[in-house]
Amino acid sequence: MKKYISFMLSLLLIFVLAACGTEQAPDGDPANQTADMVTNQDSRNISDDFVLIKGGSFQMGSPESEAWRSEDETLHEVTVSDFYMSKYELTQKEYEEIMGTNPSNFQGEDLPVETISWMDAIIYCNAQSEKEGLTPAYTVDGQTVSWDRSANGYRLPTEAEWEYACRAGTSTPFYMENSPSADDANYYGHYPYEIEDNYFSQGNLQVQPGEYRQTTVAVDSFSENPYGLYNMHGNVSEWVWDYYGEYPKDAQTDPYGPESGTLRVYRGGGWNDFAKNMRSAYRATMEQTKASFNIGIRLVLNAAAGAGSISGTSTQVPGGSDGGKMLIAYFSWSGNTKGAAEEIQRQTGADLFEITMVNPYSSDYNTVLDQAQQDQNEQARPELASHVENMDEYDTVMLGYPNWWASIPMPVASFLEEYDFTGKTIIPFCSHGGGRFGQSLTAISKLVPNAVMGEALSIHYSGGSQLSEDITDWLEKNNIK
């Protein structure tokens, strides 16, 4: 009788457990794996430097009415899941503790690490994860990087996550009510938002020109955004996961961008950017192996395990900077860029070509400022008076231009769109008055995504007595003799 009662109680317990849904899933069952991963995610000792960003839906991109928007900011609805994001850009101290090196142009433990490539950022994420006993998010095979979306380790935000966190519930160009002043963010403070249209009538501006620090600042500088994140606008731009590509027009959930491409995206603007290029929707690009003095990273962690694995494959075409025929093509207004181009020709013997317009810009400085910004705002393509008849013969094009309103002059855009640069190497040289390249390299890469970008040279005005030596060093970096 006791055995019978014991048997009946055991049978009843089985039925109760089944009815309550507590039956254990078999080994290998996806439900079991997900439950284990969620437990693993929740058991992490997440630093107080990270904040939980509650997911939701928002309009990603910018409306056509937004001043200085780009055509690649198509407005579309996106939903993102919960995730953790660091309050701060990664510091040099944190990077050096893990990697043993500090590549930054500006040195300081509490300054953001910069001059790191997208690939450097991926390697760092994995190394930090391994140090803390977490599952690395990435597998690296040459230039191909796979992302395990279920991993609980550190990773880069997606482009959608970054913009969602930056906006913090807003739909305006910046997360703050007004555009940022130099007291609100670290950028080229002489050029606040919409100054391009109001350069000679600055009383119409929301904020007045302010300080240009010409360096990065501590990662906890200024006030945080409504989600508790510091320096989402300015200081250094931040790498995200996505390859660059057109936005879809339909609604998306947890998008991760194209699965292949030639350019990776970085966001937020840096210490040398104009305010227009710090907008929440602005998209900057660079090859994943390149680095810059104004690009760093901000780490992210999953709040719950994602699903699947994404393999990101670089489709970059090898360039021809190690041999073949070379062309020096340049646009010059004041003569600074022309002087640099002639020095490059003297040292290399390359062919020289000046980009000229059917209707040249005014020789008056104030007038040409208005003409240049108007052409940029309209993304005009001025008709060119000169043309390269034998572009197919050139493997390498050294492209010179002045930094106008933090980008390329529009005649240079006309030049780039006139020819097929697939497989060619473009090596920019840029004269400037303090902003270095601005976002001119992004402008070039978007126009010719199938070309290889060499190491660029920034020249302060005419370059002075150092011009010849600087050009020699630059040519050596690009393997040009």
Q: What is the DSSP letter of 117?
A: -
Residue 10 belongs to a domain: no
Asked if residue 15 belongs to a domain, the reply is no
Domain boundary among 293, 314, 335: 314
CA distance 334 to 179: 32
- Where does a domain end: 284, 314, 344? 314
Report the CATH number at residue 186: 3.90.1580.10
- Are 334 and 309 found together in one domain? no
Alpha helices in 179-257 (DSSP H): none
Supply the CATH number for residue 370's domain: 3.40.50.360
Q: Do residues 239 and 266 make contact, with C-beta atoms less than 8 angstroms apart? A: yes
Q: pTM score, two decimals? A: 0.87
Are 231 and 259 in a shared domain?
A: yes
Do the beta carbons of residue 459 and residue 431 sit within 8 Å? yes
How far apart are the C-alpha atoms of 66 and 19, rounded to whole Å? 56
Residues 266 and 179 in one domain: yes
What is the block-wise mean pLDDT of the chain (481 residues), using blocks of 10 residues?
40 37 33 37 84 98 96 97 98 98 98 98 98 97 95 98 98 95 97 92 91 98 98 98 95 95 96 97 96 97 92 64 82 98 98 98 94 92 96 97 96 98 96 93 95 95 97 96 81
DSSP line for 365-408: HHHHHHHHHHHHHHT--PPBS---TTGGGEEEEEEEEE-BTTB-
On whether both 258 and 350 belong to a single domain, the answer is no
C-alpha–C-alpha distance, residues 80 and 169, integer Å: 13
232 and 127, same domain (yes or no): yes
In a domain, 159, yes or no: yes
Asked whether residue 333 is domain-assigned, the answer is yes
Say if residue 31 is exposed, middle or buried (CB neighbours under 10 Å; 0-12, 13-18, 19+).
exposed
Helical H segments across 43-181, by residue range: 92-99, 118-131, 159-167
Question: How many folded domains does the chain comprise?
Answer: 2
Phi and psi at residue 374, to the nearest 5°: -65, -45
**Which amino acid, residue 311?**
S
In a domain, 97, yes or no: yes
Same domain, 379 and 285: no
Which secondary-structure segment (H or E) carries 470? Answer: helix 467-477
Q: Are residues 283 and 175 in the same domain?
A: yes
Same domain, 390 and 411: yes
Residue 205 lies in a domain: yes
Instruction: Give the integer Cα–Cα distance in Å for 332 and 341.
Output: 9
Range of 371's domain?
Answer: 325-477
The reply to whether 223 falls in a domain is yes
Residue of 346, 296, 360, 331 whose CA lies nearest to 468: 346
> CA Rg, the chain, in Å?
26
Last-in-domain residue among 264, 291, 314: 314
One domain, residues 66 and 103: yes
